[in-house]
Amino acid sequence: MQLERLQAENAAEWGKRERLETEKLGLERDNKKLRAEVRDMQERLEKKGRPLSTTDTDVRQLQQDLADRNKELSDLRHSHGKLKKVLQDKSTELAHAVRRAEQYEAEVKRLRGRVEELKRELAVAEDEVDSASNNIRKLQRTNDELQEQVESLQVQVEHLHTRVRISSSSTLLSHRGQTLLGEEASDDDINEY
């Protein structure tokens, strides 16, 4: 916006300058014309040798007009100088603004490139996170399955322990029964003798 404002001010200053240049040129032409008329009248007066009161009045009027035009021309030159300086200042300011705009544009381009790079890195990181999450889920399922197997095997081990206890108890009982029977038989055998 500042750049556009400066460009508009610059264009307005150029317009004023051109208008003043045109007026200056017009005044200079008028000055030359008036000077020529004054010289012409002075030559006619010199040829006639006698001054005419109306001619003197005309000459004085022309000289006054010439002085007025010269003053106006001087004022225009002064205004033109001021406008030229303002124009130069505005041009310098505009050049600085253009350089700043170019620097900002380069910075924006660099930042956009960095944003794109970060987006790519983010996409890669998200893919890695997704892959890691999938692996975690697979490992969790495998862990759950192994846990179920362990629990199942523990139940089987407990059943086997129970069977072994029952089996060893019954074997022990039967073995004891045989031993007791064998002892009774030996007691009987001893008694017989």
Q: Confirm whether 186 is domain-assigned.
A: no
Angle at 119 between CA 113 and CA 121, to 5 degrees: 105
Q: Confirm whether 69 is domain-assigned.
A: yes
The SS3 call for residue 106 is: helix
Query: Would you state the pLDDT for residue 176?
Result: 61
**C-alpha dihedral (161, 165, 170, 171), degrees to nearest 10:** 90
Q: Confirm whether 32 is domain-assigned.
A: yes
Q: Is the pLDDT of residue 90 over 80?
A: yes
Q: Is the pLDDT of residue 13 over 70?
A: yes
Q: Confirm whether 169 is domain-assigned.
A: no
Mean pLDDT, rounded, of the chain: 83
**C-alpha dihedral (174, 176, 182, 183), degrees to nearest 10:** -160
Q: Confirm whether 188 is domain-assigned.
A: no
Rounded Cα distance between 67 and 82, Å, is: 23
The SS3 call for residue 49 is: coil
> Computed over its alpha carbons, how large is the radius of gyration of the chain?
61
Q: How many domains would you assign to the chain? A: 1
Q: Confirm whether 42 is domain-assigned.
A: yes
* 38 CB-near residues (< 8 Å, 6+ apart): 59, 62, 63, 66
Rounded average pLDDT over 35-41? 86
User: 186 pLDDT band (50/70/90 cuts)?
Assistant: low
Range of the domain at 124: 2-142
Q: Which of 114, 104, 90 is nearest to 9 (CA)?
A: 90
Q: Confirm whether 34 is domain-assigned.
A: yes
Q: Confirm whether 134 is domain-assigned.
A: yes
Q: Is the pLDDT of residue 77 over 70?
A: yes
